[in-house]
Structures are given as C-alpha cells and as structure tokens.
Amino acid sequence: MSQSMTRRGLLAGATTGFFMTGLPAWAESAEFQEQTIPTPRRTIGPNDKIRMGLIGAGGSKGGFRQGLGDMRGIGSKAGVEVVAVCDVDLTHLEEAANVFGGAAKGIAKYVDFRYLLDRQDIDAVVIGTPDHWHAIVASMAMKAGKDVYCEKPMTLKLAEGKELVKIARKQNTVFQTGSQQRSDARFRLACELVRNGRLGKLKKVVAHLPGGREQGPFEVQPVPEDLLYDMWQGPAPERPYVKDRVHGNFRYWFEYSGGMMTDWGAHHLDISQWGLGRDGDGPVKVSAKATVPKEDPTLCSYTTAVNFEVTYTYADGVELIASSQGENGVHFYGENGSWIFVSRGRIGASDEKLITEPLPANAKRLYVSNNHHQNFVDCIRSRQRPICDVEIGHRSVSVCHLGNICIRLGGGELLWNPKKEEFVGGEKMKEANALRSYRYRGGWTL
C-alpha cells in the first residue's frame, strides 16, 4: 500500500500523550462497576454441572489453538465439565481429548459434530472451527438446544449473522461471541469515557489492524492421512489441498475467512462500534482502497487483502476507519485535538486528565465482564445475555464484511441500510447484495 493511502494526520499524537497499562483507581472501584441487567428465568440450577462439548479444537502442529484455549478457559470454571471433543484432524482430536483427561475421564471423541450435538446430556458447546463452519455449526447447535460460545468472527457472510440472531432468539440461546476484548477493563473504560463525552463531540475512530499476506501459488499436495479434508472444506467450494489452506492459514482465503479485516477487525471494529454506541446499528456508507493479491487461475494463492484503508460513515457523520497501518489498537478522536487510544496492553490519551478524572455518578455505565469465559458460564445459569451476545457479534462482524465486499468490488463507495441490512443505490448495488451470502456445497444449510 502506498503512503498516500494513509490520511494526513492519521497517527498524529500516537507517540505523545499519557499512557498507562492499568486503570485509574476510580475506574476499579466496585461502585463504578455496578451494572443492572435484567435476569430472565434460570434453566440450570446453581449446583448442576454444565456439561460441555468442543467442536474444532485446533492443535500444536497448525499453530492455531483457539478452540482448545477457549475450552480450557471455560472448562476450568467451577461447575463445568468437559465431556466431548470433535475435530476433523485426528491428531488435533487426540491432543484435545488428552488435555481434558482422555479415556480415563471418559472424554468422547468425534470427527462429525452432528453426533456430538445429538447427545442430550451436553448443555453447551464451544465452536473453534475455521470461520466458514461457524454459522452452520452454531445454527445446528442452537436447534439442538445447546448454548453456544462461538469464536470470532461469528460468520463468513452477512446473511448468516442475521439468521443466527433469529434462531438464537427463538431458541432462547445463551450465545457468547469470542470477541474477548469486551471483557477487558481497559477497552470498557475507553468506551465509557467516549460514550460519556470525555472527548467532546466525537469526530473520528481509527481501528489499526495488521496487514495481510500475499503468498502463493502453493504446491498441491496429497491430503495428510490424519485430516478429513472433505469434511474440513464442508460448505466451502471444493479446492485442491495445499497445507497453507488449512489450520491457522485459513484466514487468508475468502473461501474460509476474510483476512485481517475479519480476524482482527472482529476485535477492533467491535470495540469501535461499542464506543460509538452502535451495537444494534451500522454505517450508512462504506468506501475502500486496498492492495489485493494478483488473481491466481490455479486457485492456490492467498486471496484476502494485503493492505487496506476502509472508511465507514455513520448517519451522524462520524467516520470509522479500518487501516492496516499504525499501532495495533483503537484511536478515538474528539474535539480540539483530543484523543483516547486503547489496545490490549495499554490505554492512553492526549491529556492525562481524560483518563484519571472520574466520571460523574450519573455517567452511562457499560456491561461489566472481567472474564469472557466466566461471563458465558454465569449467563448459562442465569439466562442473561452475555456481554458479546449474538446480535452484537453479528453487527460487529457486519462492519468487517461490508469492508471486504467493498474491497472485492474494487473499492469506491457503497451505500448501506443498516436497518434492512442491504445495499441501496449505486451501480454496484446488485453485485454487493449478492456477496452477502453464498451457495453452500454438499447440501449444508442453516
């Protein structure tokens, strides 16, 4: 990407100002963290075991262990028991089963998730599959009466999220999206400060994401004996096997993911929407400039964007920019050059007082969760909606998908109706709306 793709002043103030790794004392007080969330009926008693199944474990040889990591976190909570694991990589399957005690603990192993979902004694599942499987597995899990912890990004396509919200509401599912930054006190504080006008009128938000990769074509290889590759592909288009297509590298292929726009965008654009107060909404316009890989007729090269700058405009005129340049994190820009920056390691501001001065007693407080996995477990018992409920997960990743659709159509400008969740007007409207979904292979459906 050329330097001109970065707006003038995008990183202004990033190297000067006040930063801290923890929180100011006022933000850590119990009084400040009080929350009021309605508590619907409880379905699992306080002394009942929550029995869990893992679908999509990941493993050490692929370097991608998110599903296993989530289940280790959830399975360590009081009153939770892991009883079954599922993976189409037999080595990963065996590794995961052993982590939770293997045969000695009676851990069941499956290569087809549908058999796991058929078990009436499993209350909830963790979905750690590649992204193209998320919606189908989540849909079937909810219809089978399971609560769901689904890794981000929640969906591969826009239409999938809209459908998952409908199913979750009909089934009264506790659905936690794995956008765990919502359970990080620094991100919550940054959003509370912005939502309560600490920066005055909000002018702009910049989400700094990593760039992608341009690699390939890769050599077609025999499918490893321990990988059920046809099942791994599932609803995605059939493609020749290359090792750089599966496990951790799946995120660089549009057949299975959305590159860094969905991988890190599902985190930082989620926080951006939280700070903007747009959890049930979205932008009305999107434009994009990007460097994309050269078209490969062999279908054996990475396909997602390498570098990008996507600009989203909301109905009130505020802009959100997703940029593959700058320090990983989210910048909120307000009046008179003021700003607040937050990342996983620190929170900072143009002026120390923006953070250290307490908010007033009547300030708007956001949902408090200090542990994403514990929040899911607590909500299974209470039937509350978790901090990153299915609709929040859908709306946040929708922003990512809008950016990718604009990139795939060559950039320019697209108009979006966030209420109807469709593109409106413009010469690319029909093409853009067609990219909201895709035809599943092999008879799979939601």
Q: Where are the domains of the chain?
A: 3-32+182-367+389-434, 50-180
Looking at residue 46, its pLDDT comes to 79
How far is it, in rounded angstroms, from Cα 230 to Cα 442? 10
How far is it, in rounded angstroms, from Cα 315 to Cα 203? 13
How far is it, in rounded angstroms, from Cα 157 to Cα 141? 19
Whether residue 163 has pLDDT greater than 70 = yes
Contact between 86 and 79 under an 8 Å Cβ cutoff? The reply is: no
Looking at residue 13, its pLDDT comes to 46
Written as six digits, the tokens of 368 are: 């408090």
Q: What is the dihedral of CA 74, 77, 81, 83, to 10 degrees?
A: 20
Looking at residue 60, its pLDDT comes to 46
User: What average pLDDT score do residues 149-167 get?
Assistant: 98
- The yes/no answer on whether domain 50-180 falls in CATH 3.40.50.720 is yes
Contact between 1 and 307 under an 8 Å Cβ cutoff? The reply is: yes
Contact between 436 and 290 under an 8 Å Cβ cutoff? The reply is: no
Which residue has better confidence, 19 or 159?
A: 159
Whether residue 34 has pLDDT greater than 60 = no
- pLDDT band at residue 44 under the 50/70/90 scheme: confident
Among residues of the chain, what percentage have pLDDT more than 70? 91
DSSP 48: S
Whether residue 25 has pLDDT greater than 90 = no
Task: Calculate ∠ Cα 243-57-118, nearest 5°.
Answer: 120
- Ramachandran quadrant class, 340 (left: phi over 0; alpha: psi -120 to 50; beta: rest): beta
User: What average pLDDT score do residues 206-216 get?
Assistant: 97
Whether residue 12 has pLDDT greater than 50 = no
DSSP 64: B
Nearest alpha carbon to residue 424 among 404, 402, 394, 400: 402
User: What average pLDDT score do residues 121-145 get?
Assistant: 97
Contact between 150 and 138 under an 8 Å Cβ cutoff? The reply is: yes
| Residue 87: count of CB within 10 angstroms of its CB | 29
Which tens digits make up the pLDDT trace of 52-100? 999 999 854 444 568 999 999 999 999 999 999 999 999 999 999 999 9
Domains 3-32+182-367+389-434 and 50-180 share a fold: no
Q: Which residues contact 110 (CB under 8 A, 6 or more apart)?
A: 84, 85, 86, 93, 116
For 3-32+182-367+389-434, CATH number? 3.30.360.10
Looking at residue 8, its pLDDT comes to 43
